[in-house]
Structure 1
């Protein structure tokens, strides 16, 4: 780090009421290629610190107007000068003075009379820390700008592509539902059917992407209201009925007969359920059943989606809700992993949580817990 530091980029403020001490330090540090400014008392030091904005202050302890220790206290109280490191110049070297110095904000001590090598080593140590801090700050700023640009890009992609994708999806839905293999030939019908499924997946991904970006950038408001799951979950299941039928999968909804009223965000809850059911269909073999169940667990309503599909390897279970890993369904469908991150994010924003249980080769159960109305 030290070899990369350009000393002429750093300014040192020397503060001592003895003119000969100031001159000696100024000559030594100027020869070492540092920028130097000077002050001859505590009050002048405080003024110089604000106007010159030095990177380091060499501060004499014994001064006639206010002591170096009292000067340091004033510097540390002002946000404009609080972060400037201070090396105290002192003839005192008893432990209580050192302790006091560190209490008022000393970064180091240099005992008079000092030799040139010790001075340079102690100064360079502080300057190296300043340089490292600046580098971290610069990298933080760059990272923040990168994240902002990424979120903006995600939002533009999702927002601008969602509308045309919705139109393509609608047209393909219409074509597939009104055509038969006999009308256009089995090969063309299969291609059309594949395009229809892919347009569904693409639209869902864009929808998730837009919601994820809004959630991450704090532009997604959580609107909690009292909702009866009986009014919401059957509607979500119905949406997937046609898709499930084309893959020869049965959707089976069960649960308590009594009203199950939760305190949740309607859109967020539907998004979680859509992702769970869509994934279950993706990972289920033909002629299997997906069971959607609504139940009560303590202060929460628990909605579970159980499939009899490929299952999840034990080592992946812990990370499935927060790693954007791609996974592949039984029809070769690729999942982005984004949907599950979104489910975890949304359920926690509503004061609930998500769970997964799975046996490799036997199937998985994805559950969302939502607070019951109090």
Structure 2
């Protein structure tokens, strides 16, 4: 477990020693700054879990340091406890207005200071957990809505063809039923995903060959619509560690949908499998328009805007690849993406799974 980091901002050596002794039972990491500018630099680079900030310092005061911390997007959420000999109500109020979470008066009462540090470290930890869960949940919702578009699009396509009487009724109903079943399966995935944080994914032996074929089947209408073909260079089962439903619907379907989205009529998507000693590498390649380097560098950043229109004007969310990265990590694997926007254009996604 990573130890919490507490930044002590204090210009007096004696007080720094006292604070260090008080915090010793916490077994935390401690960073020290004796003046404001150093404190701001450490806060931005190391992102401490808590800052103990002296108010009265030469040069930049603690109030000024706190104000700058709260103006910086990277440091604005770091909790600050003021250390002050100023006991006037106006000074205490000023500290809270600047964004401090607490204050401790000098001379320090060890038990009080320690109790407050423990409390605010706990709150800080809980806030980070909640933020991470919120971010993952947002990614999940966007990704699964994206995945639900495939069977929904298929149903709408069939209905349009029925109106034009281009399909036999039996075939049409079979296609609608198939798409409806895929939508149902994705809704099951959504329900299962909601409990991931509580129970975790059920990682087990999965046949990669079967998963790829199911994913291709899920996007067959989009392949036909854009006149894009898939070449699968696998002919037998390959067993990996993963979770089957998310592997099919949220990893493979997402990658295939992206390849289709950025391909032109007549382009090909190729899927290869390379066996290594301890892993199986699945490579999804396409001849599409490629990914610009500015987007490629932040492709897995959930906070970055990486969405763009496809070759036929298709829209996207930008949340797909961060979730694919997250899922591959949960499977115990990884992925890399290579792409070029100059001829020959195209993208290669390397999925690396643990081999069974």
Q: TM-score, normalised by structure 2?
A: 0.53
Counterpart-to-counterpart distance in 1, 2:143 and 2:316: 20
- Structure 1 residue 313: deviation in Å? 1.5
RMSD: 5.2
Hey, what does 2:328 align to over in structure 1?
347
- Structure 1 residue 243: deviation in Å? 1.5
* Residue 267 of structure 1 pairs with residue 229 of structure 2: no
- Structure 1 residue 317: deviation in Å? 1.8
Hey, what does 1:367 align to over in structure 2?
350
Hey, what does 2:210 align to over in structure 1?
231
Deviations 1:38-68 (A, max 9, x none): xxxxxxxxxxxxxxxxxxxxxxxxxxxxxxx
Match of 1:175 among 137, 159, 163: 159
Q: TM-score, normalised by structure 1?
A: 0.51
- Structure 1 residue 220: deviation in Å? 6.3
- Structure 1 residue 303: deviation in Å? 1.4
Deviations 1:250-277 (A, max 9, x none): 111113x454211111122112101000
Hey, what does 1:338 align to over in structure 2?
319
Match of 1:315 among 294, 309, 315: 294
Counterpart-to-counterpart distance in 2, 1:285 and 1:232: 25
Counterpart-to-counterpart distance in 1, 2:206 and 2:125: 43
SS of the aligned residue for 1:278 comes to helix
Unaligned runs of 5+ in 2: 1-20, 27-52, 55-82, 104-119, 168-175
- Structure 1 residue 143: deviation in Å? 6.5
- Structure 1 residue 141: deviation in Å? 10
1:354–1:284 distance in 2 versus 1, CA, 3 Å: same
Hey, what does 1:134 align to over in structure 2?
101
SS of the aligned residue for 1:335 comes to coil
* Residue 286 of structure 1 pairs with residue 268 of structure 2: no
Counterpart-to-counterpart distance in 1, 2:151 and 2:214: 22
Tell me the matched-pair count: 244
1:248–1:232 distance in 2 versus 1, CA, 3 Å: same
1:364–1:233 distance in 2 versus 1, CA, 3 Å: same
CA contact (8 A) 1:158 1:209 kept: no
1:77–1:319 distance in 2 versus 1, CA, 3 Å: closer
Hey, what does 1:252 align to over in structure 2?
231
Hey, what does 2:85 align to over in structure 1?
123
CA contact (8 A) 2:210 2:237 kept: no
SS of the aligned residue for 2:288 comes to coil
Counterpart-to-counterpart distance in 2, 1:156 and 1:369: 21
Counterpart-to-counterpart distance in 2, 1:248 and 1:159: 24
SS of the aligned residue for 1:124 comes to coil
CA contact (8 A) 1:313 1:359 kept: yes
Counterpart-to-counterpart distance in 2, 1:303 and 1:254: 10
CA contact (8 A) 1:208 1:339 kept: no
CA contact (8 A) 1:292 1:306 kept: yes
Counterpart-to-counterpart distance in 1, 2:143 and 2:300: 24
Deviations 1:17-40 (A, max 9, x none): xxxxxxxxxxxxxxxxxxxxxxxx
Counterpart-to-counterpart distance in 2, 1:268 and 1:149: 18
1:214–1:327 distance in 2 versus 1, CA, 3 Å: farther
Counterpart-to-counterpart distance in 2, 1:344 and 1:369: 11
Match of 2:220 among 241, 245, 249: 241
Larger radius of gyration: 1
Pairing of 1:45-124 with structure 2 (within 5 A): 123-124=85-86
Unaligned runs of 5+ in 1: 1-72, 80-106, 109-120, 184-195
CA contact (8 A) 2:189 2:246 kept: no
1:331–1:180 distance in 2 versus 1, CA, 3 Å: same
Counterpart-to-counterpart distance in 1, 2:310 and 2:236: 35
Deviations 1:214-236 (A, max 9, x none): 48x72462111112222221121
1:147–1:135 distance in 2 versus 1, CA, 3 Å: farther
